[in-house]
Amino acid sequence: MDADSLNAATRDFIQRHLRDDVRQLALRPAPADVDIHAALIQIEGRQLAAHKLPTWAATDGLLFPPRLALEQCSSEATAHYKRQLVRRLLQGVAPSQHPSSGPIASGSFSFPSGAPATTPTFFVDLTAGLGVDFSALASLFDSAIYVECQQSLCDLAAHNLPLLGQTNSEVRCSTAEENLHLQADVVLIDPARRDAAGRKVARLEDCTPDVGLLQESLRSMASFVLIKLSPMLDLADALRSLRGVAEAHVVSVEGECKELLLVMQGTRRTDGEARCLPPSADEVPIHCVDITSPQPDRAEQSGQPAHGTSEAVPPAISYRPLVFSRSTEAATPIVLAQELGTYLYEPNASILKAGAYKSVCHFYPVAKLAPNTHLYTSSQRIEDFPGRTWRILDYATFAKRDLHRLLQATPSADLSVRGFPTSVGTLRKQLHLREGGGAHLIATTFLEQRLLLRVERV
């Protein structure tokens, strides 16, 4: 589909119904000269993009694919996280030197310097899809190639990329395997995570293409290879399966884990470029990132668009990563609380996914409630704790009289369980607890004793 395939009546219909319910529109008779199927795709696409891709939704003339491709694409927030990451790779800045980095595990890998600024730079996205990541990254380079095997997405990219300011890009309709001969500074690959029947897959070897089989070819074509993977994937297994991984990033947006990113050091060399050995799997720095509150990026607004493009200024992303490695996590002693403090904490989804359970206590003055309960407590509030914070208002053991006292004062509440042997539904029935009411109860385990905490969000 391209803009020329939408007649004037269809484009006018789309503009007039941008905020209407697509399901209701589909039930109404459409004007004879309106391509209602194409119109509904564009209306739904722009509605979905309004939150996930705000810059795209605000750009006149962009065309969108059917719903599935939009659901599978990166969000604008995660795309611009990749942009900041790739910019650092090109500048040869180690994570510990990066101004937005948080605590860094000892012994973390330092990247060699990237290509000199005067050297033309080249980027290849081997599985570009809708092109969200591609459009965020391409303007960092002198030239870029968009590779995608679906002709319909290539047609959309050829139409959309110039509107997004990507004038240095080439669109190729071909497979990733057909482009492994290219030589680039950075290569991005996002293997499809659905099988032939459309079912979701999580194992690395079940994704298409299989980056495990292609890893040596990928490393030989670039200085750095950025691999985007499903958050369902076992990160430890991926680190064991892939050679040359220099960094791992577990990326969440507003508390929901969205993707795993692996930075693989390539074997492509440039004149005078020194290379150093990447860390072992257990020493790979793992960045746990939760992106919140996009705001205008003053730093980017103050500079000129890269290579003279006219791209829209992307939103800034606010985050402070916790960075650790599997070896430092294993070596970190567990810190168990001896008493409940005033405040209760639950780490964000990225930290829980990465398994930095003990490392949290190394970086922040908190103590764990129990070895297998991923809740933490402190007497003083930790303002920058990476996750949710509650104030503990009251608590009770599950002794009959103590529990009755708490429930008498809180007959209805939202209920959650953490490190507790009973499900929410079963426990709610046992407690005869009504839903709602504005209060919040958390059932958990502390000092080998079951507790019911009444808390409020801070």
Q: Which tens digits make up the pLDDT trace of 145-156?
A: 999 999 999 999
**Does residue 78 surpass a pLDDT of 70?**
yes
**Does residue 99 surpass a pLDDT of 90?**
no
Average pLDDT of the chain is: 87
Give the confidence band of 203 by pLDDT, cuts at 50, 70, 90: confident
Instruction: State mean pLDDT over 17-28.
Output: 90
pLDDT value of position 195? 65
Helix H or strand E segment including 11: helix 8-16
**Does residue 284 surpass a pLDDT of 90?**
yes
The three-state DSSP-derived secondary structure of 366-406 is CEEEECCEEEEEECCCCCCCCEEEEEEEEEEECCHHHHHHH
**Does residue 434 surpass a pLDDT of 60?**
yes
Rounded distance between C-alpha atoms, residue 78 and residue 308, angstroms: 24
pLDDT value of position 92? 79
Residue labelled with tokens 């570009």: 128
Rounded distance between C-alpha atoms, residue 404 and residue 401, angstroms: 5
pLDDT value of position 101? 42
pLDDT value of position 257? 94
**Does residue 337 surpass a pLDDT of 60?**
yes
Instruction: State mean pLDDT over 16-33.
Output: 89
**Does residue 312 surpass a pLDDT of 70?**
no
pLDDT value of position 70? 92
**Does residue 340 surpass a pLDDT of 60?**
yes
pLDDT value of position 273? 54
Comparing 59-63, 163-167, 282-286, 295-299, the range with the smallest average pLDDT is: 295-299
Superfamily of domain 71-324: Vaccinia Virus protein VP39 (3.40.50.150)
Q: What is the pLDDT of residues 248-278, one digit of tens each?
A: 999 999 989 999 999 999 987 654 455 567 7
Give the confidence band of 130 by pLDDT, cuts at 50, 70, 90: very high
| Residue type present at position 204 | L
**Does residue 456 surpass a pLDDT of 70?**
yes
Helix H or strand E segment including 32: none
| Omega before residue 209 within 30° of 0, cis | yes
- How far is the CA of 18 from the CAs of 13, 53, 57, 71, 125, in angstroms? 9, 16, 11, 19, 31
DSSP letters spanning 290-302:
EEEEEEE-HHHHT
3-state secondary structure at position 92: coil
**Does residue 301 surpass a pLDDT of 50?**
no
Instruction: State mean pLDDT over 210-229.
Output: 96
Give the confidence band of 127 by pLDDT, cuts at 50, 70, 90: very high
Give Cα 125 distance to the centre of its chain: 18
pLDDT value of position 104? 44
Looking at per-residue pLDDT, the higher value among 3 and 379 belongs to 379
| Residue type present at position 438 | G
- How far is the CA of 404 from the CAs of 225, 400, 419, in angstroms? 58, 6, 22
- pTM of the full structure: 0.87
**Does residue 299 surpass a pLDDT of 70?**
no
Give the confidence band of 306 by pLDDT, cuts at 50, 70, 90: very low
Q: What is the pLDDT of residues 344-360, one digit of tens each?
A: 999 999 999 999 999 99
- Four-point Cα dihedral 243, 208, 161, 132, nearest 10: -70
Comparing 80-84, 91-95, 189-193, 234-238, the range with the smallest average pLDDT is: 91-95
Instruction: State mean pLDDT over 410-430.
Output: 96
pLDDT value of position 277? 73
pLDDT value of position 313? 43
Cβ atoms 157, 131 nearer than 8 A: yes
Domain boundaries, the chain: 3-52, 71-324, 332-457
**Does residue 8 surpass a pLDDT of 80?**
yes
Rounded distance between C-alpha atoms, residue 9 and residue 33, angstroms: 6
Say what percent of the chain tops pLDDT 70.
84
Give the confidence band of 361 by pLDDT, cuts at 50, 70, 90: very high
pLDDT value of position 276? 65
